[in-house]
Amino acid sequence: MRNVIYCLLITISVAACSTNRHQINPPRLTTIAIKGDSIPQYTFTYDTKGNLVELVHHEKENSANVYTFLYDSSRHITSMVLSDRNHHSNKIRQRARVTSWDKNGNITAIQYFDAQEHLLRSATIRWNNGLPTAFKFSDSTQAVSWNEDKNNPERKDININTANDIQVTLRTTSFEWDDSINPLHPLINQLLISQAVSPAAYLTPVGNLADTLLHLSTHNPYLIKIVEKEKVLCQQHLQEYERSTTMQYSYSFNGSNYPVGAWVHLHNEGFTKLETDTQFALEYHYE
């Protein structure tokens, strides 16, 4: 009987170690691509310690936004540089410096600078259980809040633009989660500091394909609904617009709970009330 118990304990220990290894070393994402495209949407590069050192958003064949990250000896992100890459030549557009972290190493305060290192603005991030709950900029141009309630997960954005007319955009995004594991979740701090989190921070009249790609939660979305309301004060005249976007995902797998592909249906009803439907296949590649 003692030998049986001993063997059982060994089996449990081995299983526990295997589980811990899976949690500590999840597969590292290297590429998100749209099937059939000649270039990927995003590529991810890591150092020998597993830190993400470069995130590239490929916009065209020879044009990309390049985010480069630096770390301290504790593997905390210390800074980021955003560059525009054209024909293998990089031009720095923006820099960011992390000024504080929480006890888990998550970023709580950031300073953003222009290419000449003149301070532009700062930002603060609040966290709960490993997920952000609020992201706010010091110049009051943008604020984001997340509610990860299991029954009603939601994100709310407010964007204020006073460059020409006064433009205020309110956006509410609701999510329904799949059971699969999100390979982007370990990169949550890098996505936040680079402002690359879906939905995209910068609005466009017909929606943004990037809204379908980079998400923060521990699980992948299978349904996303976005409602945007825009108010513009132009020469004392108030104009109001509304747009809605729905995204549906169907994932494919290859022996693990991490997706290797997804079929995406994107439906958009724009500010002009014209409706568009787009379908495409995503591909996920790992090291």
pLDDT of residue 87: 78
pLDDT of residue 200: 61
Nearest one of 84, 97, 62 to 193, comparing CA atoms: 97
Q: Which helix (H) or strand (E) covers residue 101, if one does? A: strand 89-101
pLDDT of residue 201: 57
Domain CATH for 91: 2.40.160
Domain span at residue 56?
2-286
Task: Give the count of domains, the chain.
Answer: 1
Distance CA 116, CA 39 (A): 31
Q: What is the mean pLDDT of each run of 10 residues along the chain (287 residues)?
A: 43 41 71 93 95 92 91 95 88 95 96 94 94 92 87 89 81 93 95 79 54 85 92 81 92 94 91 84 95
